[in-house]
Structure 1
Amino acid sequence: MTLPQLALSSLAIGLVIGIGLSLLVVWAYRARARAEEETSLEIPAGITDVLGSMDDAACVVDSSGLVLAVSHAATRFGIEVGSTLDNPELRQLVRAAKTTGGSTTESFRITRGGLSLDPRLVSARASVIGTRLVLLIIRDVTEQERLDQMRRDFVANTSHELKTPVGAVSLLAEAIESAADDPAQVRIFAARISAEAGRLGQLTGRIMSLSRLQAEGGLTEVASVSIDEVIASSIEAHVVQADSAGVELARGGDRGIWVRGDAQILVEAVGNLIANAIVYSPRGSRVGVGVKADAEIVEIAVSDQGIGIAEADRERIFERFYRADEARSRRTGGTGLGLSIVKHATQRHGGEVRLWSRPGRGSTFTIRLPRIDTPGHIDSDKKSKKKRARKAAKAASARVRNGERA
């Protein structure tokens, strides 16, 4: 072999050895990186910032279920950094995501903060973000489920409530036709038809009121409203009912208070509270309507000395068609919509309704509304009326001084 050939052969062998060593080094680096990745618990860049900006409960866990990072809302479910996932459904969801290597979503009920009496319906999603890391997002859909159930109940209850008076009117009409030769029976059936028609009218009217309050732009007549006039109108509208029930109506508290809103809706809301208080009060008791105000808030409280509301019913008392005492409500012709109207009317005015009650001692419903300053202007019509009244008074005084007859 000549010298040039030997040189070329040596060069080729060196090149092969160099390439082999390079490949071996690259493989070694990759193997090391892969091993570090498999054993590393370092959270990928940006995940912590994303968790910090999330409203839903979320966390990053390793293959053993150890929590490495959390969002602020995760603490509501007792999930904290350094702890392990206690819920078996969540652990199973994490394992399923690691098995598939992708994302897995399930819905189930879990408890918040270890409180077994507070089960929440959640939609949980687990996504693999590393060899050993899984991102778990928990969305609480309990309120959405409750609203969906309320919609279904509203449709079912409305159909049922409307069916009852409509069916009664139909049967009574047939009874009148059968008793056409008996004037006394006809009068009895006609009176019952009138009562059922009134109940049907009340029910449809309240459904329409509630629908308007829940619709966008529910307040159309917004102006400065005198609470004194609201209270006076509400009490006046229920004086006959109170007299029939033997219940005294009493008004007290601050006066000269104003709010911003729709006077008619507020009168209806306060009137519903007064009507309920009268219905659930014993004969000879008192229903009080009081007003208390500070610089920002005005409170309208309606108190009774009635049967009170059981603790189990207080959470649902403002739901549509819910009746704490079904038998009494049926007997008195209640629709189950009055307190729901109160709640939505108050919310439309930027306020809230609070309830205090003790069984056997009575209940107090308090409407809290934002207060406004007393309007400093009087419209031109009122001004002109006052001017005319003053002129008439001066003229009458002049005639009296001159000995004329008024």
Structure 2
Amino acid sequence: MNALYAEGMTLPQIALLALAVGLAIGVGLSLLVAWAYRARARVADESSLVVPDGVTAVLGSMDDAACVVDSSGLVLAASRAASRFGIEVGAPLENPELRQLVRGGRAEGGSASESLRLTRGGLSLDPRLVSARASVISPRMTLLIIRDVTEQERLDQMRRDFVANTSHELKTPVGAVTLLAEAIESAADDPAQVRHFASRISAEASRLGQLTGRIMSLSRLQAEDALSDVRPVAIDEVLATAFEAHVVQADSAGVEIARGGDRGAWVRGDSQILIEAFGNLIANAVAYSPKGSRVGIGVKVVDDVVEIAVSDQGIGIAESDRERIFERFYRADEARSRRTGGTGLGLAIVKHATQRHGGEVRLWSRPGRGSTFTIRLPRIDAPPRIDTDKKNKKRERKAAKAAARVRNGEHE
């Protein structure tokens, strides 16, 4: 104090200086305390294994498999879908590939991702393709997200196969037409050979037209707005039209088509698509049936479902082929299908048409005994003041007359 007086400072000046020094010391102590609290909180966070509430809420709303694991691989929290891959809260992360991914994410200090093949629930026969990503959310916790992309991969593969198969199937009749055209040119002086090659070209052109038409039908069925003309549809009328379209084929093959079961059933849908679907089943049944056999078309109404079964007494379908019989371009009997002009798209159209109408298609078959394809569709009540019995009977009489003309040799 005396020294300050000696320097000529007055008492008020000394008081202000003391106040400034005290304020500086107080601010410094406050900052030191705040830093200490922050450091303590940071250390607590780094050592804590409590999953933040926000992360838990996100996990609870996720459709993908996801979990939070600690540095030792223990699962601290998980979404409901995580159990499909055997991930349970309180248990260690068992899968070695996922553990390695978590370690990789922690080593990089941010995140790591990888595509893996995992099994669900420990079933080695059910591998799934997943896109997994590990992201560090704290020094001791890592968020692991597992997205199942198996179906996306399957759809991509189906698109690639469809393009490849379509190109292959189109190349065959186009190549045949080219060769036959060259043969006609070389046999220009032989009318008989020209007529023969011309008939072959016509057959290949018909096959090409059938193939492209079915590809377009299948593409329309797979579009979002496939059913453009939805209205009440009489099953009797649909079957009568489909039967009429294939009666010549049946009589030429020596196969009888018989219609039985319930009458007056109605569904809601697109009549043209249903006619094509049932027509494909009838055409297949006739093509794979021996001469002198019978193809049966039966209708049964069970509660709110209409069951339409098309049965044959043909060669049947092997059990190994039943899983794939509805795939595009798949043929259980390649040689016979080629001989009968099959495209391998008929049953794929049947499947997609049925699904578009909210139904399902079932298959029963025994090799050497025949096959039965059953389409199940939701039934609706018949619309008022609509009676199609006369129309259907007229169609059936017309089909019977056409069959009689074929038997008498009157059809060209």
TM class by smaller structure: 0.7 to 0.9
**Aligned match of 1:47:** 55
1:218 matches 2:232: no
What count of residue pairs does the alignment treat as equivalent? 379
**Aligned match of 1:290:** 298
1:67 matches 2:75: yes
1:373 matches 2:381: yes
**Amino acid aligned to 2:97:** E
**Aligned match of 1:400:** none
Cα distance in 2, alignment partners of residues 298 and 183 from structure 1 = 55
When structure 1 is superposed on structure 2, of 51-60 and 182-191 the one drifting more is 182-191
Cα gap change, 1:359 to 1:41, in 2 (>3 Å): farther
Q: 3-state DSSP class of the match of 2:329?
A: coil
1:95 matches 2:95: no
**Aligned match of 1:198:** 206
The one-character-per-residue Cα deviations of 1:152-182 (angstroms, maximum 9, x if unpaired) are 2222221211111111011111112212233
Q: 3-state DSSP class of the match of 1:46?
A: helix
Cα gap change, 1:286 to 1:23, in 2 (>3 Å): same
Q: Percent sequence identity over matched residues?
A: 80
The one-character-per-residue Cα deviations of 1:100-134 (angstroms, maximum 9, x if unpaired) are 22122221221122121221111111111122111
Counterparts of 1:77-96 in structure 2, within 5 Å, are 77-96=85-104
Cα gap change, 1:19 to 1:225, in 2 (>3 Å): closer
**Aligned match of 1:111:** 119
The one-character-per-residue Cα deviations of 1:226-272 (angstroms, maximum 9, x if unpaired) are 11111222223223323333433232322110011121210110111
When structure 1 is superposed on structure 2, of 59-68 and 304-313 the one drifting more is 304-313
Choose which of 154, 166, 171 in structure 2 pairs with 1:163.
Answer: 171
Q: 3-state DSSP class of the match of 2:138?
A: coil
Cα distance in 2, alignment partners of residues 220 and 22 from structure 1 = 75
When structure 1 is superposed on structure 2, of 243-252 and 27-36 the one drifting more is 27-36
**Amino acid aligned to 1:190:** A
Cα gap change, 1:82 to 1:369, in 2 (>3 Å): same
Choose which of 201, 205, 208 in structure 1 pairs with 2:216.
Answer: 208
The one-character-per-residue Cα deviations of 1:273-309 (angstroms, maximum 9, x if unpaired) are 1222222334444332222223322122223333333
Shift of 1:354: 2.6
Cα distance in 2, alignment partners of residues 303 and 84 from structure 1 = 55
- Which ranges of structure 2 fall in alignment gaps of 5 or more residues? 6-13, 391-412
Q: 3-state DSSP class of the match of 1:106?
A: strand
Cα distance in 2, alignment partners of residues 97 and 20 from structure 1 = 40
- Which ranges of structure 1 fall in alignment gaps of 5 or more residues? 383-406
Cα gap change, 1:23 to 1:97, in 2 (>3 Å): same
**Aligned match of 2:244:** 236
Counterparts of 1:339-354 in structure 2, within 5 Å, are 339-354=347-362
Q: 3-state DSSP class of the match of 2:306?
A: strand
Q: 3-state DSSP class of the match of 1:266?
A: helix
Q: 3-state DSSP class of the match of 2:53?
A: coil
When structure 1 is superposed on structure 2, of 288-297 and 303-312 the one drifting more is 303-312
Q: 3-state DSSP class of the match of 1:287?
A: strand
**Amino acid aligned to 1:364:** T
TM-score, normalised with respect to structure 2: 0.82
**Aligned match of 2:8:** none
CA RMSD of the aligned region, Å?
Answer: 2.9
**Aligned match of 2:330:** 322
**Amino acid aligned to 2:172:** T
Cα distance in 2, alignment partners of residues 254 and 3 from structure 1 = 121
Counterparts of 1:113-192 in structure 2, within 5 Å, are 113-192=121-200
Cα gap change, 1:129 to 1:355, in 2 (>3 Å): farther
Shift of 1:203: 0.7
**Amino acid aligned to 1:258:** W
**Aligned match of 2:399:** none
Cα distance in 2, alignment partners of residues 21 and 28 from structure 1 = 10
Counterparts of 1:260-339 in structure 2, within 5 Å, are 260-339=268-347
Cα distance in 1, alignment partners of residues 40 and 230 from structure 2 = 72
Shift of 1:43: 0.7
Q: 3-state DSSP class of the match of 1:181?
A: coil
**Aligned match of 2:398:** none
When structure 1 is superposed on structure 2, of 354-363 and 206-215 the one drifting more is 354-363
Shift of 1:88: 2.2
**Aligned match of 1:247:** 255
Cα gap change, 1:41 to 1:156, in 2 (>3 Å): same
Cα gap change, 1:356 to 1:135, in 2 (>3 Å): farther
Q: 3-state DSSP class of the match of 1:353?
A: strand
Cα gap change, 1:225 to 1:194, in 2 (>3 Å): same
Shift of 1:378: 3.6
**Amino acid aligned to 1:353:** V
**Amino acid aligned to 2:120:** R
Cα distance in 2, alignment partners of residues 354 and 130 from structure 1 = 53
Counterparts of 1:353-364 in structure 2, within 5 Å, are 353-364=361-372
When structure 1 is superposed on structure 2, of 177-186 and 205-214 the one drifting more is 177-186
**Amino acid aligned to 2:379:** R
**Amino acid aligned to 1:164:** T
TM-score, normalised with respect to structure 1: 0.83
**Amino acid aligned to 1:176:** I
Q: 3-state DSSP class of the match of 1:155?
A: helix
**Aligned match of 1:57:** 65
Q: 3-state DSSP class of the match of 1:237?
A: helix
